[in-house]
Structure 1
Amino acid sequence: MNIDPPCYVFTYSVDGPLTQINARFLKQLEYDCSEVVGEMRMEDILTGGSKIFYKTHFLPMLMMQERVDEMFLTFKSKSGNEFPVLMNLELIKEKEEQHIQAVGLHIAKRNKFEKGIIEAKATAEKALKENEILSEMRSRLERNQENLERQLRDLKRINFEHLEFSKVLSHDLQEPLRKMILFAGLLEDKSEKDGLDPKLKFYLHKLSGLSEDARVLLIKLQRFHSLENRMKQGSKGNLEDIFESALERINNSEIKPDLSQLKVKKVYGDIYLLTRVFRELLKNSYQFRSQERSLSIHISSSLITENYYWAVEDAYRYTDFVQIRFEDNGRGFPPNSKDHVFGLLQKFHTDSGAGLGLAYCKKIIELHHGRIFMKPSSVGGTLFTILLPIYETKFAE
């Protein structure tokens, strides 16, 4: 006999949407099952304060201890009503999958009583601490101004060094390499005419080839270094059109990505450079495809809410992002390479190129104030996740 228990019961994947939810909790949330299961994450049904607490305390503790009992979280319904819940969560591991089993009890009266006590205490202490708070805020402002001054000085110094480095790449190193290639070519021609030692001819040919490789690498490094200056004014784009343009540039009929799960299609940014990102990912999927199975590429997009601040500790402002998931079933990356795949000149396969492609992708996405992550795919390949802000922004900010 199926009996709905007098509590809230639901499950969800660690970094994904809810997978199960009981009728009692659905009724309290004022949603239909189809609006929640497979569509919403744990953070989407929490209030702002509880979302921060869950991300910074609750979830890390759960991942370490695999179980957390009797912690308060406040949920919000579809109409905006808030209700406190005493939560028990347990991390369930089944084979390579991980999900979280959650059980909660509604405790509105206790929460309201505790909130009243806290507010009364805060009101009583406010007058006593007012001067201390003002003094602390003044000191903090002075410290922040000093930090800002140091950061601006460092930024000017780094910008100057970048300009000097760009000059070295564009001229000081290019010119000697061009001359080496020229002289090696002249010597090769002379060896052909004069019938010199074949070994000498081989070495000259090798020297010419290595010099040309170094020259091309310097050009690519210069382009990577000057990406900021190549960012154009942002515009609106359609993900389907962007992927179609990327496929046209690749011109390979064997690459046929599945775009049926693009729930959000509008993006904003430098469309040319964003197209370059997806062209690079598509080329990588094909280049490093598995010989044991046909290449499969699945691309999906959705709207999620995440903390905008990821470089500043203890700063929170939740905003909407377009999440793009790019998953293939290729050869993937070696174990423990997750933290290095976006580095300059990183090569993980014998047939890798210059090792700049994913570094380009990361820099372009970050210039759009977004983020890109990589992890092994459940189908044996690689899953790239890209977050792009949905609002129009000036890249120079």
Structure 2
Amino acid sequence: MTESTDDDLLDVIPCGLFAFTDEGILVKINQTLARQLGSTVSELVGRNVETILTIASRIFYQTHFFPLIKLHGTAEEIFISLKTKTQADVPVLVNATRLLENGRFLNICACLPVYQRQKYEQEIIKARKTAEEALLKNEELSRTQQELEQYKEELDRRISQLEQRNQELTQFNKIISHDLLEPVRKITTFLDLLQLENRAALTQKGNEAIDRAILASRQIRQMITNLREFVSVDIASLKPTVVDLNEIVDSALHKARLHTGYDRLSLHIEPLPVIEGNPKQLELLFYNLIDNAIKFHRPDIDAITSIDLNCSIIQHNSYRAFKGKYKYIDFAKITFTDNGIGFDNSYRDYVFLIQKKLNPTTSGLGFGLSLCKKIVENHAGSIYADSTPGQGTRFTILLPVKQ
């Protein structure tokens, strides 16, 4: 076995070595690096150092690597990519030093292949991205939890307010049902007795006064009854069941004819769907709409009150209170159109208020449409009107198919 020289050792060490002049000419290169580049030492020596660099590494060599060596005399752990004879990339970490030899500067570089570096970097980047996404999701989750907590607190506050309101309305309903209605009933009874027993003894003005008092007491009784009905609908549990709207409308129509004695009705009713709701409230809804059409029919002698009722199923947003929230479900869109006297469409919201009448000379106390609005809202729906004087009114009702 022969003794190894320094040059032999440089050729077998497990890292590449090369040296180049300030002009960029390769003057030394070891066998290890030559093998890594798929060439021989003789093929590489004398070439420009940039020929063994990839394009990106050439730019880095010109702008950073070589200026760094000239400025500081050393460079450590610089990542560049060498190029093999077959144009394959060899990623390496380079340590460099600058020496003066025989009157010229040599830039000596030791490079160690790091084939796994890019893989590691990609894994690190991927892991960091995953961590950032997880952090973002955690932040979003935390923010969502905070919003839910706020919604829960707001919901609890509103439920408490509603429970208090329902208790107050229940007490109010009891007062209306007995404490107010009973005295009015007695007043009406005493006035009737007075009129029956003493009509002849009273003057004409006295009889007129009693007649007006009786009429006023009956109006008060009717108003109290309407208020009681309105409050009862407001506080009653919805308890939805499957409801056939065709049967509901038939029953409401029968009661409206019976109570008003009005029979000059012409109805065109298309088949209506089956939905979930409270049958009593829905019957009251259509009864009041029909009663409204009768009360405000055209005064023409030969006029026939015409009612058209049709329905379609549409997709509609079920959120009403929360702005920017959307959940589309099936709604029954019902249009109820009459050919009555109509009204100025600027009053389309006004007509749904309690005891608000556009014509004070007409019958009724102004509870019908407000009761309709209350019933529809109890079913998580909506109702609105469009009207033209002398051409009738169209009511559009949106009711969820399922509660």
Q: Report if TM-score (shorter chain) is over 0.5.
A: yes
Larger of the two Rg values belongs to structure: 2
Within a 5 Å distance, the mapping from 1:111-150 to structure 2 comes to 126-150=133-157
Name 1:357's counterpart in structure 2: 368
Segment of structure 1 superposing worse, 339-348 or 275-284 = 275-284
Structure 2 contact 344–388 (Cα < 8 Å) conserved: no
Alignment partner of 1:360: what SS?
A: helix
Q: Deviations over 1:314-336 (max 9, x none)?
A: 22111011111111222112341
CA distance in 1, matches of 2:144, 2:236: 41
Runs ≥4 residues deviating over 6 A: none
Normalised by the size of structure 1, how large is the TM-score? 0.60
Alignment partner of 1:256: what SS?
A: strand
Identity %: 34
Alignment partner of 2:380: what SS?
A: coil
Name 2:169's counterpart in structure 1: 162
Alignment partner of 2:332: what SS?
A: strand
Instruction: Structure 1 unaligned segments of length 5 or more: list them.
Output: 1-121
Give the superposition deviation at 1:234: 3.6
Name 1:220's counterpart in structure 2: 226
Aligned partner (choices 273, 290, 295) of residue 298 of structure 2 = 290
Q: Deviations over 1:214-268 (max 9, x none)?
A: 12210121111112565675443433333333332233442121124x4x53233
Name 1:196's counterpart in structure 2: 202
Name 2:242's counterpart in structure 1: 236
The 1:362–1:129 alpha-carbon spacing in structure 2 relative to 1, beyond 3 Å, is: same
Aligned partner (choices 274, 282, 285) of residue 277 of structure 1 = 285
Within a 5 Å distance, the mapping from 1:360-379 to structure 2 comes to 360-376=371-387
- Residue 342 (str. 1) matches residue 342 (str. 2): no
Alignment partner of 2:168: what SS?
A: helix
Within a 5 Å distance, the mapping from 1:201-212 to structure 2 comes to 201-212=207-218
CA distance in 2, matches of 1:184, 1:207: 8
Within a 5 Å distance, the mapping from 1:248-267 to structure 2 comes to 248-251=254-257, 252-260=262-270, 262=271, 264-267=272-275
Structure 2 contact 311–334 (Cα < 8 Å) conserved: yes
Name 1:76's counterpart in structure 2: none
Name 2:394's counterpart in structure 1: 383
Alignment partner of 2:341: what SS?
A: coil
CA distance in 2, matches of 1:161, 1:318: 35
Name 1:299's counterpart in structure 2: 309
Alignment partner of 2:202: what SS?
A: coil
Equivalent pairs counted in the alignment come to: 268
Q: Deviations over 1:90-133 (max 9, x none)?
A: xxxxxxxxxxxxxxxxxxxxxxxxxxxxxxxx989634534433
Name 1:318's counterpart in structure 2: 328
Q: Deviations over 1:32-84 (max 9, x none)?
A: xxxxxxxxxxxxxxxxxxxxxxxxxxxxxxxxxxxxxxxxxxxxxxxxxxxxx
Normalised by the size of structure 2, how large is the TM-score? 0.59
CA distance in 2, matches of 1:265, 1:331: 29
Q: Deviations over 1:325-353 (max 9, x none)?
A: 11122211234111111111121223141
Give the superposition deviation at 1:171: 1.9
Q: Deviations over 1:261-293 (max 9, x none)?
A: x4x532332334323322222232233223466
